[in-house]
Amino acid sequence: MNAIIKVKNLTRVFDVSKPWLNRVIERLPKSYLTAVSEVDFEIQRNSVYALVGESGSGKSTIGKMVVGLLNASSGAVEVDGIDLSSEQDAEKVDAVRSNIQMIFQDPFASLNPRWKVRDIIAEPVAARGGDTKGLSERLLEQVGLSAADADKYPHEFSGGQRQRICIARSLASEPKIIVCDEPTSALDVSVQSQVLNLMSDLQEDLGLTYLFISHDLTVVQHMADKIGVLYLGRLVEEAPRDVLFSSPKHPYTQMLFDAAPRIDGFGREVEPPKGEIPDAINPPSGCAFHPRCPMATADCSKSRPEMRKIGDTRVACHLAE
């Protein structure tokens, strides 16, 4: 298989310390939050790779590092063999980044309210000096809107229509990769399906590669070819979609599936998840999930499990078998 994106040992640490004077008066050390910790995965060309996990698990941080909005503290993101953090190949990095676009979670917040839709969609091309004549009108029709909508402003559209405008903007520069950061979570359920079907059709027609970020397992099951499960910034399980849904190996993945609503779930009794997500500033030793895990042993609190293969699944758990 041909991997278009390779994420290697990716880590991102944020300095969340109080201001210097406060630290001096209160005699406090600096504080650091590890949002992403030593994450490795590959995304195959023309496929959909999904990242799932609870809020605060590091999904959006990884997406922003893949796009280039955030720099990695350590590790690397390679796109078509080019390390995005490389300063020696600045021209190659710039060329690669022009092939990556992003669809944000809130369609209204990601659109400039003072610009007409025509200018918003054409911006990625205009910024590089490309020809934008008729571009916005063509893309609006491609995503199911009218060419006449190009003269309107974002506030004149519904949430679903605004997300279609965001999709049209992401397609303007003819990218190979689109990072989708919970693109339907702010939409009604009926509109979600329309947007997801549009994205699936565009992916097949244009040969796009998606990094799809979501906390909705139903959406992920509909869209993804392969799924990575994140917990407290760590990748704990990765498997093809059908394998993961039929046979989850990690206790955290099993907990997510048990907590998800199901059509046939009326009257079922599911034990609620134990404990709360640990503090990312002071994460637990060993396996980050061990304080909440019903299977945890003494080894789980002492050593961090390495990712290993079990069949088609990669899993980080001492007791995965």
pLDDT tens digits, residue range 123-154? 999 988 888 899 999 999 999 899 999 999 99
* Whether this model's pTM surpasses 0.85: yes
In Å, what is the CA distance from 242 to each residue of 239, 248, 321?
8, 10, 19
The size of the chain, in residues, is 321
Domain count, the chain: 1
pLDDT in the model for residue 191: 85
Helix ranges, the chain (H): 20-26, 59-67, 90-97, 117-126, 135-142, 159-171, 189-206, 217-223, 241-246, 251-259, 298-302
Please check whether residue 168 lies inside any domain of the structure: yes
pLDDT in the model for residue 51: 95
Please check whether residue 78 lies inside any domain of the structure: no
Please check whether residue 161 lies inside any domain of the structure: yes
Contact criterion met (CB below 8 Å) for 10 and 76: yes
Query: Rounded to a whole number, what is the distance in angstroms from the first to the last CA of the chain?
Result: 27
| Model confidence band, residue 279 (pLDDT cutoffs 50, 70, 90) | confident
Please check whether residue 14 lies inside any domain of the structure: no
| Model confidence band, residue 215 (pLDDT cutoffs 50, 70, 90) | confident
| Model confidence band, residue 297 (pLDDT cutoffs 50, 70, 90) | confident
Range in 116-130, 232-246, 250-264 with the lowest mean pLDDT: 250-264
Highest-scoring range by mean pLDDT, 18-22, 191-195, 253-257, 267-271: 18-22
pLDDT in the model for residue 271: 67
Domain around 131: 106-173
Range in 45-49, 130-134, 272-276, 304-308 with the lowest mean pLDDT: 272-276
pLDDT in the model for residue 283: 87
pLDDT 10s digits, 254-269 = 888 887 766 666 666 6
